[in-house]
Structure 1
Amino acid sequence: MRVAIVGVGGVGQVSACELVKSQYLTKLVLADISIAPAEELAAELRRETDVEIQVKRVDARDVSSVQAILDDIDVLLHIGLPENNFEVMKACLNTRTHYIDTASSGPQWLRKQLAWNDKFRAAGILGIMGLGCDPGFSNIAARYAVDQLDEVDAILIRDGDNSVVDYDGFCSYFSPQTAIQECLAKPNYWTADKGEQYLPTPFANKEEFEFPEPIGWLDCYNVEHEEATTLGETIGRAKGCKYVDFKYALHPDFVNTLKVLSYLGLDSDEEIEVKGVKVAPRDVVVTTMPKPVDLAGKIHGYSSVGALVKGKKNNKRKEVYVYTIANHDEVFYKTEFQATIWQTGIPPVVAVDMIAEGLLQTTGCIPPELIDPIPFLERLKARGMAFGVIEKTSPLSQGT
């Protein structure tokens, strides 16, 4: 199996380090517009493996630039900016290369990506949209939970982290561009009668949610996310699901900082002229923030992502919560990465495992929940990313 990774930031580095452990891997291409980190990583990996490792400079905004590295590549992992997904997808179509990414630029863009389904099928290739931790693991966790129930009422994705960071300033544990964009967007949710809808303002519907110990209770808010775009239609509606949403636990300081950025217009990606130079305000903010990969070893606490599915089984009310949890310090000790990017970089590698084993032979463009969850979760655990299942059952009220 020959694999290319486009985007060799923190998550791309995690995926690369996992891929080289695979017996099926014969070639790995590390591609980025800035090749210095990729060169450094390649030098480290070559000391650990006999797999052919190449470093290529690629501009993901340019279809021909991406296409130039794909002549003999079986699978491409796009772990760069989601805004470049379509250019990378086009390159994969032209070369008939399987495509996996970890996020979209928003619900409307995810729908457009999935609308390429017929094109990918005609080319005989698979495209998986949003296979990181959330989206990604969260979708597959939801599928596993839905499969355990006879009827489904609601699918609730919850992301929480109780950690502190050795950094005195505004930072994000994952892509700062994505964090600012999705947290300040109008949150999406899904209902069976109206489909996907949007709340009028960000940081809506604050609620306390109990994450697995030692995290416990955290304040969560509705945030724009990919899961609410697909889960209701793909796996929920057939079992009677009425509601799907995503909520993210956000620290008050993080929320207040984002509100200030929005108030000042510093979250905008529209270029403005400053002293004769055109800049996007959000790019200026992001440039002042540390890269998530540079926070490794500085974050202390736990990160958890899970899917809570409520419904019925054998004529009893039942809740199934499927989750993953990781300790930032433990992950850093074992891998030298921080937990958030590590949790994001493992799932796409598991999909490559399944393709290599012949367990994922479908073609077209799919969201992660259409992957068989049991073999996926088994291989995820084998890669060191454990998951847990909590089930609660109660009798139905009389007359229901």
Structure 2
Amino acid sequence: MSKVLVIGAGGVGSVAVHKMAMNPQIFSDVHLASRTKSKCDAIAESVKSRTGQTVSTYAIDAEDVPALTALIQEIGPKLVVNLALPYQDLTIMDACLAAGVHYMDTANYEPKDVAKFEYHWQWAYQDRFKQAGLMALLGSGFDPGVTSVFAMWLKKHKLKTIRTLDILDCNGGDHGQAFATNFNPEINIREVTAPARHWANGDWVETPAMTIRQNFDFEGVGPKNMYLMYHEELESLAKFVPELERARFWMTFGDAYIQHLTVLQNVGMTRIDPVLYNGQEIIPLQFLKAVLPEPASLGPTTQGKTNIGDIATGESLDGSGDKTFYIYNICDHEDAYHETGNQAVSYTTGVPAMIGAAMILTGAWSSEGVFNIEQFDPDPFMDMLNQHGLPWQVKELAGPLQF
């Protein structure tokens, strides 16, 4: 019997719990907790109607370590899957250590008061998890997550070395809103407005946010403008693929999104420092999040596809010289909604969260300490992607991206 506790009742949590319920041979007993129990109850009701499986629900403040520890001990799961906000990673890791259970997440820690996401805070838990005989798996979403597994699969099956790597994240979906984000608005906007960084020749190169743009023709979507950004898998890939000479992350944004975001920045609505309003301190970005559409509500109206993948160049395993491979997944927003009631951006993160949890619960990935997804055999994870809604394909290109 494999009992699991999922924390977080947004779109990603909803997809992960639906997919867990669809695989009762692995997830025999699923529990869901968040600050707002009614959100958990709505997901549980959807799961029951779609799969017949029962999900137990709870209210919890994930930043209250004693209360969370007590809840974990009460439920007794083998694994806690953290699909809450990145601010809460460390408190949930603390509770897992206190309760003696394995830990997994999809995004690395970020302090509330600084728009800076790095792995060092979580890597510092290595000795504590190892001494406790527990495993913490970091970054089992799509990016980070699948994009890193894609790179390691190429390194295992196609390339002896990876010298250049470009990660391309395209959302070609249209939700019909004037301005909305496809995942948590606070996290999304903090990411997008942060300075861009990429890895080049053993160091980080920083450029102003959203200033480097290229056009790329995405299969299933068409030509889109994509922007150079910093994303956390660059940090772990630079660590675990030591021969990397250059690694970049690109994400597509439409002109309307850029225009809205520019105005919001210019008037101070993306600030994360407190301002005084009617005698109360408020965070402008948190207020903006409250008035924007809830990402989980976008499923019924979103049409189109996502296309996310890696373009990697290096020395071929077969000894035939340098080769370039493009490995990617295309996901349809309407198909994702039909299956789980959520759009494809939530789906492409929630499915890998389920798969990462399955890797731990089945013992396919097993060790003691804190690990990134790049450190394990990619094959069983890649097999489950094909089986559970995120089929991938790989093709050889004439050469690396010429920009």
Residue segments in structure 2 that go unaligned for 5+ positions in a row: none
Quote the offset at 1:45 in angstroms.
3.2
Is the partner of 1:99 in helix, strand or coil?
strand
1:151 to 2:161 alignment: yes
Residue 373 of structure 1 corresponds to 378
Distance 1:178 1:63, change over 3 A: same
What percentage of aligned pairs have identical amino acids?
25
Quote the offset at 1:30 in angstroms.
0.9
Quote the offset at 1:171 in angstroms.
0.2
1:37 to 2:39 alignment: yes
C-alpha separation in 1, matches of 2:292 and 2:258: 16
C-alpha separation in 1, matches of 2:333 and 2:131: 43
Number of residue equivalences: 387
Aligned partner of 2:381: which letter? F
Measured against aligned partners, the alpha-carbon deviations of 1:12-48 in whole angstroms (never above 9, x if no partner) come to 0111111112213232211011110211222343456
Task: Write the mapping of 1:166-185 to structure 2, written as runs, cut at 5 A.
Answer: 166-167=176-177, 169-185=178-194
Residue 17 of structure 1 corresponds to 18
Which of residues 210, 215, 235 is equivalent to 2:217? Answer: 210
Instruction: Determine if contact 1:310/1:318 at 8 Å carries over to the other structure.
Output: yes
Residue 233 of structure 1 corresponds to 239
Quote the offset at 1:191 in angstroms.
2.4
Quote the offset at 1:140 in angstroms.
0.7
1:77 to 2:87 alignment: no
Quote the offset at 1:301 in angstroms.
0.9
Is the partner of 1:356 in helix, strand or coil?
helix
C-alpha separation in 1, matches of 2:395 and 2:36: 43
Residue 8 of structure 1 corresponds to 9
- TM-score normalized by the length of structure 1: 0.92
Distance 1:50 1:221, change over 3 A: closer
Aligned partner of 1:205: which letter? I
Instruction: Determine if contact 2:201/2:246 at 8 Å carries over to the other structure.
Output: yes
Instruction: Determine if contact 1:26/1:52 at 8 Å carries over to the other structure.
Output: no
Quote the offset at 1:357 in angstroms.
2.1
Measured against aligned partners, the alpha-carbon deviations of 1:96-121 in whole angstroms (never above 9, x if no partner) come to 21111111237653222122112111
Residue 190 of structure 1 corresponds to 199
Quote the offset at 1:256 in angstroms.
2.1
1:115 to 2:120 alignment: no
C-alpha separation in 2, matches of 1:296 and 1:319: 35
1:252 to 2:259 alignment: no
Instruction: Determine if contact 1:160/1:248 at 8 Å carries over to the other structure.
Output: yes
Residue 286 of structure 2 corresponds to 283
Distance 1:95 1:291, change over 3 A: same
Instruction: Determine if contact 1:92/1:99 at 8 Å carries over to the other structure.
Output: yes
Task: Write the mapping of 1:319-330 to structure 2, written as runs, cut at 5 A.
Answer: 319-330=324-335
Quote the offset at 1:52 in angstroms.
5.7
C-alpha separation in 2, matches of 1:303 and 1:275: 42
Measured against aligned partners, the alpha-carbon deviations of 1:169-202 in whole angstroms (never above 9, x if no partner) come to 21011111111000000112112332xx252310
- TM-score normalized by the length of structure 2: 0.91
Distance 1:56 1:263, change over 3 A: same
C-alpha separation in 2, matches of 1:190 and 1:93: 33
Distance 1:381 1:88, change over 3 A: same
RMSD: 1.8
Quote the offset at 1:209 in angstroms.
2.2
Residue segments in structure 1 that go unaligned for 5+ positions in a row: 395-400
Is the partner of 2:71 in helix, strand or coil?
coil
Is the partner of 1:151 in helix, strand or coil?
coil
Is the partner of 2:223 in helix, strand or coil?
strand
Deviates more, 1:127-136 or 1:197-206: 197-206
Task: Write the mapping of 1:42-61 to structure 2, written as runs, cut at 5 A.
Answer: 42-46=44-48, 53-61=55-63
Is the partner of 1:165 in helix, strand or coil?
coil
Is the partner of 1:149 in helix, strand or coil?
coil
Quote the offset at 1:223 in angstroms.
1.4
Instruction: Determine if contact 1:7/1:80 at 8 Å carries over to the other structure.
Output: yes
Which of residues 87, 90, 110 is equivalent to 1:86? Answer: 90
C-alpha separation in 2, matches of 1:109 and 1:6: 21
